[in-house]
Amino acid sequence: MNSSEPLGVPLYRVAHGRTGDKGNRSNISVIAYHPALWPVIEAQVTPERVAAHFAARRPSQVQRYALPLLQALNFVIDDVLDGGVNSALNLDSHGKALAFDLLQMPIALPRELLVHCQGPQPF
């Protein structure tokens, strides 16, 4: 493997997340662990990739709000909670686990940024 090639890492290595829900809408925040990781997150965690990641839940819309001073992204995902808490038969219809799910998404991380990651080193 070329030492200049980016590493494929799960998003949870570079960011943490928070989630909330209201009705059939989920709100997921992705927050960089370190300011040096922010450009990678902003470039790769796009509304299109998030929509593709949750494709099985059939979101009707994914909106992304960038908060660069906080090194964070906020996603508002519509129609992703099986109708919402009171309508769904899904046991986890609140969507509290959706941030954890999104943090599994792989990203390409330049090797020099690995020092800013959380969790075990890949090698």
Which CATH number do you get for residue 58?
3.30.70
Q: What kind and span of H or E run contains 35?
A: none
The CA distance from 88 to 72, in Å, is 30
In this structure, what token pair is assigned to residue 47?
């509304």
On whether residue 37 sits in a domain, the answer given is yes
Range of the domain at 65: 10-106
**Is 118 part of a structural domain of the chain?**
no
7 Cβ neighbours under 8 A, 6+ residues apart: 108, 109, 111, 114, 122
Residue 59 in any domain: the answer is yes
- Under the banding of pLDDT at 50, 70 and 90, the label for residue 34 is very high
Q: Answer yes or no: is pLDDT of 123 > 60.
A: no
Give the C-alpha separation, 4 to 61, whole Å.
36
For residue 6, the SS3 value is coil
Tell me if 75 is assigned to some domain.
yes
pTM of the model: 0.85
Please report the pLDDT score of residue 104 as a whole number: 94
In a domain, 112, yes or no: no
* pLDDT tens-digit readout, 35-88: 999 999 999 999 999 999 999 889 999 999 999 999 999 999 987 875 555 555
pLDDT of residue 4: 79
